[in-house]
Amino acid sequence: MKLTHSLAAVALTSLAFAAPVAYADDTKNANNFVKMCDADKDGMVSKAEVMKMVEKAFDKQDGKKAGKLDKKQVEVFLKSLMDGSMGG
């Protein structure tokens, strides 16, 4: 449960950092976000889809499976969320 709260906090933090970028080109960023998260390809993003994408990005950086990221890992984690490199 604690990890879920941590992931949610990290996701919210990443969205806060992404907000200024999102306003630069709302349509492009919204489309990229939907493509990145929309696992069932219904054109909509569910909370579960977003959390799955965030968990995937977190786990990729948490190579030692410690359940924590250091500052450098967080930087890469946030970049992967913002640039859409976790899409798929």
d(CA 74, CA 44): 27
Q: What angle do CA 20, 34, 28 make, to 5 degrees?
A: 50
d(CA 69, CA 61): 7
Collapsing DSSP to helix, strand or coil, 64 comes out as coil
The reported pTM is 0.61
**Model pLDDT for residues 23-72, shown as the tens digit of each residue:** 556 677 788 888 889 999 999 999 999 999 999 999 999 999 999 999 99
Give the dihedral sign, CA 88/19/6/79: positive
* Token pair in block for residue 33: 């976000």
Q: Where are the domains of the chain?
A: 2-83
Collapsing DSSP to helix, strand or coil, 43 comes out as coil
